[in-house]
Amino acid sequence: MIDIALFQPDIAGNVGTILRMSACFGVRCHIIEPCGFAFGERALKRAGMDYLDGSEYIRHADWSEFAKWTATQNRKIALMTTKGSKPLPDAEFSESDIILMGSEAAGAPDYVHDIASTRVHIPMRSGFRSLNVAVAAGIALGEALRQTDQYPRGA
């Protein structure tokens, strides 16, 4: 199954929203610390609402721990970045990819770009820089689930 990962997220509301999305689609979420807020249910509750109990997430103490985990699991990383060379409609996802989102304030540093299998951007109109990280995560996840036929088959 596709996973989503958040590199040093800054805003609890965005993390809550992404955890809610991960619960709805049955996608595991990785939180790569440190976070820019005190990680906990109270901080995430407003955006995550009552969906947090249905989300599966793994907290990684830092980038090194996450990178080791991905290597042992033989997982590829698709980094979503405004600096990506591949537009999302041209990206090819596999069933075990991890969609990695950079932090809201700083994106992803070079050492994160270096380990990514692919760097993907969401095409937008000229003059606009970026989307909210939770919105971008939803767009990318939707495309990856569509390509790999992993949308839930619920009601």
- Would residue 153 count as lying in a domain? no
Domain of residue 138, CATH code: 3.40.1280.10
Cα–Cα distance, 74 to 83 (Å, whole number): 25
Cα–Cα distance, 74 to 80 (Å, whole number): 19
Q: What is the pLDDT of residues 131-151, one digit of tens each?
A: 999 999 999 999 999 999 999
pTM for the full model?
0.92
Cα–Cα distance, 155 to 153 (Å, whole number): 7
Please count the structural domains in the chain: 1
Q: What is the pLDDT of residues 23-53, one digit of tens each?
A: 999 999 999 999 987 777 666 665 556 777 7
Domain of residue 120: give its range.
3-147
- Would residue 109 count as lying in a domain? yes
Cα–Cα distance, 25 to 27 (Å, whole number): 6
